[in-house]
Amino acid sequence: MHAFDVLGDPVRRRILELLADGERSSGEVSGVIREEFGISQPAVSQHLKVLRDTGFAVVRAEGTRRLYAVDSTPLREVDAWLDRFRRFWTPHLDALATEIARGKRARRPDRRAPDEQSPGQEAAGSQP
């Protein structure tokens, strides 16, 4: 199965999002996914199996629990493939960062030099 076939499924993407925050038991993953997507526990298990079989997740046994974690190898392969297309969005993101910085500067309190006066204000120590 191709990486984008795996990532194309919203349930599997959500499982990876959960695992990106750290290792989780299959029961924890199943509980969240069942609540959010309304699917059965066996269906969640099937998605976990796909993630394991395609290398996106690893599992380890701890007693009777099965703990899942992200395996970054296939994600690095996806990132390398996407690298060819970054030129399409990187300039837009750079421009957005510039506009955000401008907006932050514009919202700062007035920081005029002490010798500058605002209209209607007199300089300290001047006489009328």
Alpha helices, DSSP H, located in 10-64: 10-20, 26-37, 41-53
Task: Return d(Cα 90, Cα 84) in angstroms, integer.
Answer: 11
Average model confidence (pLDDT) for the chain?
A: 86
Residues 40-98: pLDDT tens digits?
999 999 999 999 999 999 999 999 999 999 999 999 988 888 888 877 766 767 778 88
Specify the pLDDT at position 122.
Answer: 53
What residues are paired with 66 via a beta bridge? 61
Least confident of 1-5, 11-15, 30-34, 84-88: 84-88
Specify the pLDDT at position 116.
Answer: 56
| CA-to-CA separations, 82 to 14, 34, 37, 79, 126, in angstroms, rounded | 20, 31, 28, 5, 64
Q: Average of pLDDT values for 94-117?
A: 74
| Neighbouring residues of 82: CB distance < 8 A, sequence distance ≥ 6 | none
Specify the pLDDT at position 37.
Answer: 97
Specify the pLDDT at position 84.
Answer: 87
Least confident of 9-13, 97-101, 112-116: 112-116
